[in-house]
Amino acid sequence: MSEDFNMSMRKFLKQVGVTSQQAIEEAMRDAETSGKEFTATATITIPELGLEHTVSGTIKGQD
């Protein structure tokens, strides 16, 4: 893969990670989360490539 491809993909994934973390932290601050676990799902789509990639996991609330 080309260097331009790698850089653009890394930039996109960094943006996804940073903005997602900020949104989750904000939502968690505004809710009672102590001792709770939350199911989280993230989906990345690229319609032109027919790509739909979903990742699921659990986020634990702050104590």
Task: Find out whether 30 and 59 touch, Cβ atoms under 8 Å.
Answer: no
pLDDT-derived band of residue 63, with 50, 70 and 90 as boundaries?
confident
pLDDT in tens, 21-60: 999 999 988 788 888 899 999 999 999 999 999 999 999 9
Q: Measured between alpha carbons, how far is 23 from 39 in angstroms, rounded to an integer?
A: 15
- The confidence score (pLDDT) of residue 30 equals 79
Cβ contacts of 45 within 8 Å, gap of 6 or more: 51, 52, 53
Sign of CA dihedral 33, 53, 51, 19: positive
Number of compact structural domains in the chain: 1
**Domain span including residue 32:** 3-60
Q: pTM of the entire structure? A: 0.80
